[in-house]
Chain A
Amino acid sequence: MTDGEKPVWSAGLILAVIAAVCTSLVALTFAVTKARIAANEQAWLEQSLKPALAGIVYDNNLTESHLTIPIPHELPGNEPVLVYRALLANKPVAALFVVTALDGFSGPIRLLIGITDQGIVTAVRVLSHRETPGLGDFIDSARSDWIDQFERKSLSAPDRMSWALNRDGGDFDQVTGASTTSRAVVKAIKETLLYFEANQEAIFAAQ
């Protein structure tokens, strides 16, 4: 070892000390913010579920009443589907499906679909999407009221054949220049309604 050159182990020691200090800083911040972050996520979930249950009276805690439908299933998407159940005096009044439409223009569109025990759509909300800003983002209720046209619709009004875009001979408006996005949303809602019709009892009976 020549003059002025410090041994390698001291470099290792410095690194270890700084790593320990930095790690404790992160651990401390994590401990301080943990409860708040969990509360935020809970509030965000409640807040994003609520709009899809417009006009429904229920008295249970939605986040405690969810069940997961494993793959394979006939719902849109290739992931397990979360279903929240709204109850009034322990009787089921509505179900909320979180489904993923994979046939959008760019990337998956996550939809929250509320359906009453009568099979009527309460409301549909987009939870996340990657459609083109300004072109495909009309599905977001913050950008346009396009998604509101599904409210109070069911498989009997309009009839099954009419669950499609106008240009495909159906009953729903498309947005010009973004029919891929519109079609994906209509198809996902229709598939969810069909699934609900076939499996309603099992969904509400499951613990």
Chain B
Amino acid sequence: MSTMQSIRKALWDENPGLVQLLGLCPLLAVTSTFVNGLGLGIATIAVLTCSNILVSATRQWLRAEIRIPIYVLIIASLVTCIELLFRAYFPALDRSLGIFIPLIVTNCAIVARAETFASKNPVVPSMIDGIGMGLGFGLLLCAIGAFRELLGHGTVLSRLDMLFGGAPISGLTILDTPFLLAILPPGAFFSLALAVAAKNVIDRRRKRAAGFRLSI
């Protein structure tokens, strides 16, 4: 499978959030703004890519009876490192994401990729798989974050300074009367449901269009 194909698969056909519905706890909890989604997305991509590389590099020693403790060791250490790095270089974002950086440990998308892909494939494809799956998850976080921020706070791209430094950025205010429900927990479920539904509609249209072409 080519690199492009496997990235496409990770971003759309097998998107960890939209299709496999993995890692929903952080996805639902932190996506109240775009910058939170972006921050957790970057952290997840970093952890997923490094854990895939490490699991793949050690796969010849991975025996069935000890593979799970090894995944746990690798993922937990990586997450701890990422947390320390965030605290050192993005302190504001670290405060905003709070417990959800350490909780990346419990994101089943990561252990799932270690088990189903990295433990059976060489290092480079595993790295590409990690980047792709991480991107698929991160983009979904950003999309849901932006959607909920627009509806719930009425702003776009607020507080980007937490990630990139500089003076506080309040973002563009689009809506004057925000729709509060969007940033409350139910809003997270509704937004994810809308995203999954939108993907299914697009897939069905495509399939129908392809079938129509075939019948001609």
Chain A contact residues, CB within 8 Å of chain B? 6, 11, 14-15, 18-19, 22-23, 25-26, 29-30, 33, 36-37, 40-41, 44, 132-135
Q: Which residue of A lies closest to B75 (CB)?
A: A22
**In the complex, are the beta carbons of A18 and B74 less than 8 A apart?**
yes
**In the complex, are the beta carbons of B80 and A26 less than 8 A apart?**
yes
Known A15-B69, A18-B61; 17 more pairs at CB < 8 Å: A6-B63, A11-B65, A15-B66, A15-B70, A18-B70, A18-B73, A18-B74, A22-B74, A23-B77, A29-B84, A30-B84, A36-B88, A36-B89, A37-B88, A40-B88, A44-B91, A134-B184
Find residues 14-49 in chain B having any chain A CB closer than 8 Å to their own CB.
32
Decide yes or no whether B197 CB sits under 8 A from chain A.
no
Decide yes or no whether B122 CB sits under 8 A from chain A.
no
**In the complex, are the beta carbons of A11 and B81 less than 8 A apart?**
no
Total A-B pairs, Cβ < 8 A: 63
Q: What residues of chain B lie closer than 8 Å to A18, measured between beta carbons?
A: 58, 61, 70, 73-74
Partner of A37, one of B78, B81, B87: B87
Chain B contact surface mostly? helix
Contact with A along B47-77 (1 / 0, CB 8 A): 0000000000010010101100110011011
| Minimum CB–CB distance for B207 against chain A, Å | 40
| Minimum CB–CB distance for A106 against chain B, Å | 12
Q: How large is the interface on B (under 10, 10 to 19, 20 to 34, 35 or more residues)?
A: 20 to 34
**In the complex, are the beta carbons of B178 and A134 less than 8 A apart?**
yes
* A133-B183 contact in complex given A22-B73, A22-B74, A25-B77, C-beta closer than 8 Å: yes
Q: What residues of chain B lie closer than 8 Å to A14, measured between beta carbons?
A: 61, 63, 66, 70
Chain B contact residues, CB within 8 Å of chain A? 32, 58, 61, 63, 65-66, 69-70, 73-74, 76-78, 80-81, 84-85, 87-89, 91, 95, 152-153, 178, 180, 183-184
**In the complex, are the beta carbons of A37 and B84 less than 8 A apart?**
yes
**CA distance in complex: A29, B66 (Å):** 26
**In the complex, are the beta carbons of B88 and A11 less than 8 A apart?**
no
* A33-B85 contact in complex given A134-B152, A134-B180, A134-B183, C-beta closer than 8 Å: yes
**CA distance in complex: A146, B58 (Å):** 57
Q: What residues of chain A lie closer than 8 Å to B73, measured between beta carbons?
A: 15, 18-19, 22
Q: What residues of chain A lie closer than 8 Å to B153, measured between beta carbons?
A: 134
**In the complex, are the beta carbons of B87 and A40 less than 8 A apart?**
yes
**CA distance in complex: A25, B51 (Å):** 13
Partner of A33, one of B58, B84, B178, B184: B84
Q: What residues of chain B lie closer than 8 Å to A19, measured between beta carbons?
A: 73
**CA distance in complex: A148, B84 (Å):** 35
Q: What residues of chain A lie closer than 8 Å to B178, measured between beta carbons?
A: 134
A and B contact pairs by CB, cutoff 8 A, 19 listed: A14-B61, A14-B63, A14-B66, A15-B66, A15-B70, A22-B73, A25-B81, A29-B80, A29-B84, A29-B85, A33-B84, A33-B87, A33-B88, A36-B88, A44-B95, A133-B32, A133-B183, A133-B184, A134-B180
**CA distance in complex: A26, B74 (Å):** 10
Q: What residues of chain A lie closer than 8 Å to B80, measured between beta carbons?
A: 26, 29
**In the complex, are the beta carbons of A40 and B65 less than 8 A apart?**
no
| Minimum CB–CB distance for B21 against chain A, Å | 25
| Minimum CB–CB distance for B66 against chain A, Å | 5
Q: Which residue of A lies closest to B80 (CB)?
A: A26
Q: Which residue of A lies closest to B159 (CB)?
A: A142
**CA distance in complex: A33, B84 (Å):** 7
- Which residue, of B78, B84, B180, has the highest number of chain A Cβ atoms within 10 A? B84
**CA distance in complex: A36, B88 (Å):** 5
**CA distance in complex: A30, B63 (Å):** 30
| Minimum CB–CB distance for B49 against chain A, Å | 15
| Minimum CB–CB distance for B59 against chain A, Å | 12
Q: What residues of chain A lie closer than 8 Å to B81, measured between beta carbons?
A: 25-26, 29
